[in-house]
Structure 1
């Protein structure tokens, strides 16, 4: 009996298909699976939810030694893939918004910032709004802001007595929101509405809870107070904006910059957009500056070597410039800059940076291992953890500002994105120069005019806050100097 050639061809094709399928399953599929990052052991469905809410940095400390610089955490119906260290985080910081997006992962900010700004608009509009921030923080603008910063510091500390004890954390928080009000929100808020606006910002701030990241509209008391405060702030700023426009008066503050800003198509900013952008600016700057100012003081007061170095620098600047302090003189304070930068390395206020992956990509670890990160994963890195990697920084848990000095430059020696307290790449913090100038203005005044002593224990970190800061009081004994730096 002869076989039908058509049946024979079908049979051969079927066998070839089966062989090909077997080949793919044996050689290609396992290889693909091997290239996926290792996964943190966790509960079914809930995944690592409880570990994440308890503290992502604690989880990173536990898993990094076991799993390496790239690993995935299942979290409810999401996958979060962590990229830890400069060797694997380059794509995180350099990828385009179409590949790695901020918008989806930072939606929890929308109730706070308000509609029509930052993460509630598409990328092209957000880029234009970031341009407004950039223009408001140009060097010529910063020079004017410095005058306000110096004035606020002099005015605030003039109210201290000849000697006494204060909670440094509280004092610096108060001073920085006064400065931010003057530089960002305008004299109307600074001189007339400060207490009202400060209280409203407090409610807005407390409305940003860890649970808000997952359920930003959950009807809890903190969210209700947040929404009421946001509504009231919008009313206040609408009145101020209308008054300025009618009077034709122009001020040197960020509010004025936003009022005068226009989109590429010629459309001016709306009152609602201006309010949202101001809230975003204050949120970005106030916490970072007050937290970093406090940590800087705590470390200097516990390290006589570095305290002596910054005092000597101030003494030299006094000899060179007299009592004058302006933008250019603050820029000469390199020793103080390194002390602030080191405090910020050890205690970055934002412990997690997040993106949503819109396309597959591959990363290579320092050991040469390649991992494929699938589209749809949330991609994360941690400034808190990455800033203390021992293969990047010598004695990473030690406060050592000299690591950033000439000849060492540890943050540069290990390559790009070794120091990420202000983020980096496409989404680096626009307010970094403003923050350094503000903190320098405060500490140069304190160093020149007061003898300071830390009388409470060295502060602990408040891991329960959304923006991680200083836990408890930081009690300092002060004594006014008879002659500055005599």
Structure 2
């Protein structure tokens, strides 16, 4: 894991430097002329070289920690005309997550997602259309509809683990990755994919995500590189498969209860129905975001529970009580009662957020006030960074942040009162977050309470029924 993290942070550093140089040479940054408050403390010149050295030699978290210690919760790193401002902690992050798109947005920072997801959705369309498409996703994932997915999730989990023997060794990441795709195939895509073409779909989806997220594709999403060609080929085949399903449902008036059907039936405010291309782009988006988040969260939750005898015992005891209460009729209500497992998942998200930092582009000057009362004006043109992973380890919010302690979210402590941005909600749980919690719950359910897990060699997991 450490080596993988090192590669990730080195990649981020390379991306950062490349973007800095390209932006600085292309154009200058435009600022609003009127400034009534001081700028944030700024790192520039020789100090910038020291920061760059720390970033490359020790990693992103060490660099942020050094500047946070020296400069406080708001600081800017300046390189020529390019300004990157870091916002540390919830006190200065409200506008980052809740500001209007006209004031603060992703800008063109995630242009690389357009070839993956499609030019008809997400950041391939205008803001108004994107907001309406977000509403389609929210409607498809709202709690009233999640309830109908709980049973199929549990069935997939039960059938998957029923194939395991009495004992053995597995790679937890690979197993959960496959299981989560089975759940997605069942609840998001429907029976056509799950029953008839799952293996092919699973392979193509991996081709799309692996090649679409590699460094060259992120930096040069439209260049004729081998990875981009593989990405586009996989995307085209997935589109063909999904188009056939959508057309078949419309032709024969087949109405299913999955998310794909909800997207097919969605309508814009002007009465227009979603097109085939839009439906395909939206469902691939949900698959991509959900798989990434769920896999990371489930694997790390499992790893931490294996390393924490106390937490694992508490989770298993809770599972036994719920099974005694519901028997074989586990449903969405049962998931809602898994407070101990929920706290374990939230603690995992605090330590291992699926996205270690979020970025935004400032379109209109705004002011932040630190917890010490200092006010700073951040200019139009700045790139903003909210370092989620670092924020999850602030000692004035989380006691002993280096310790895996799910009870920090329990009654009497509730250290999450000012947290909750690990999934991008800015302190507000979204429908997608409920899906990820539900899917992680589904993977965590041990129906008969008899499964025992231990660490195996090479980072694998052994399991047995006892």
Length-normalised TM-score, structure 2: 0.87
Flag structure 1 segments of 5+ consecutive residues without an equivalent.
1-28, 457-472, 482-486
Picking from 339, 349, 357, the partner of 1:352 is 357
Match of 1:26 in 2: none
Picking from 177, 200, 203, the partner of 2:204 is 200
Alignment map for 1:62-461 (pairs within 5 Å):
62-74=66-78, 78-206=82-210, 207-412=212-417, 415=418, 418-425=419-426, 429-445=430-446, 448-456=449-457
Q: Measure how far apart 1:154 and its partner are.
A: 0.7
Match of 1:477 in 2: 462
Spell out, residue by residue over 1:156-214, the C-alpha distance to the aligned partner (whole angstroms, 9 max, x if none). 00100011111111111110011111111121111111111111111111121245444
Distance 1:83 1:241, change over 3 A: same
Is the contact between residue 188 and residue 259 of structure 2 (CA under 8 Å) also seen in structure 1? yes
RMSD (Å), alpha carbons: 2.5
Give the whole-Å Cα distance in 2 for the aligned partners of 1:253 and 1:443: 22
User: How many residue pairs align between the two structures?
Assistant: 431
Match of 1:6 in 2: none
Is the contact between residue 151 and residue 331 of structure 2 (CA under 8 Å) also seen in structure 1? yes
Spell out, residue by residue over 1:281-306, the C-alpha distance to the aligned partner (whole angstroms, 9 max, x if none). 01110111111111111111111111
Give the whole-Å Cα distance in 2 for the aligned partners of 1:257 and 1:140: 13
Q: Measure how far apart 1:342 and its partner are.
A: 0.5
Q: Measure how far apart 1:240 and its partner are.
A: 1.0
Q: Measure how far apart 1:76 and its partner are.
A: 7.7
The 3-state SS of whatever aligns with 1:407 is: coil
Give the whole-Å Cα distance in 2 for the aligned partners of 1:427 and 1:73: 29
Match of 2:12 in 1: none
Is the contact between residue 203 and residue 222 of structure 1 (CA under 8 Å) also seen in structure 2? no
Give the whole-Å Cα distance in 2 for the aligned partners of 1:217 and 1:77: 26
Q: Measure how far apart 1:39 and its partner are.
A: 2.1
Q: Measure how far apart 1:318 and its partner are.
A: 2.2
Question: Highest Rg: 1 or 2?
Answer: 1
Q: Measure how far apart 1:66 and its partner are.
A: 2.2
Give the whole-Å Cα distance in 1 for the aligned partners of 2:221 and 2:81: 17
Match of 2:42 in 1: 38
Is the contact between residue 49 and residue 75 of structure 1 (CA under 8 Å) also seen in structure 2? no
The reply on whether 1:57 has 2:58 as its aligned counterpart is no
Distance 1:388 1:451, change over 3 A: same
Is the contact between residue 315 and residue 341 of structure 2 (CA under 8 Å) also seen in structure 1? yes
Give the whole-Å Cα distance in 2 for the aligned partners of 1:201 and 1:50: 37
Is the contact between residue 54 and residue 62 of structure 2 (CA under 8 Å) also seen in structure 1? no
Give the whole-Å Cα distance in 2 for the aligned partners of 1:162 and 1:373: 59
Distance 1:224 1:369, change over 3 A: same
Is the contact between residue 320 and residue 448 of structure 2 (CA under 8 Å) also seen in structure 1? no
Give the whole-Å Cα distance in 1 for the aligned partners of 2:56 and 2:362: 20
Length-normalised TM-score, structure 1: 0.83
Of 331-340 and 94-103, more deviation after overlay is shown by 94-103
Spell out, residue by residue over 1:59-82, the C-alpha distance to the aligned partner (whole angstroms, 9 max, x if none). 323322222211223468632211
Spell out, residue by residue over 1:358-408, the C-alpha distance to the aligned partner (whole angstroms, 9 max, x if none). 100111112222211100111120211111111110001110000000000
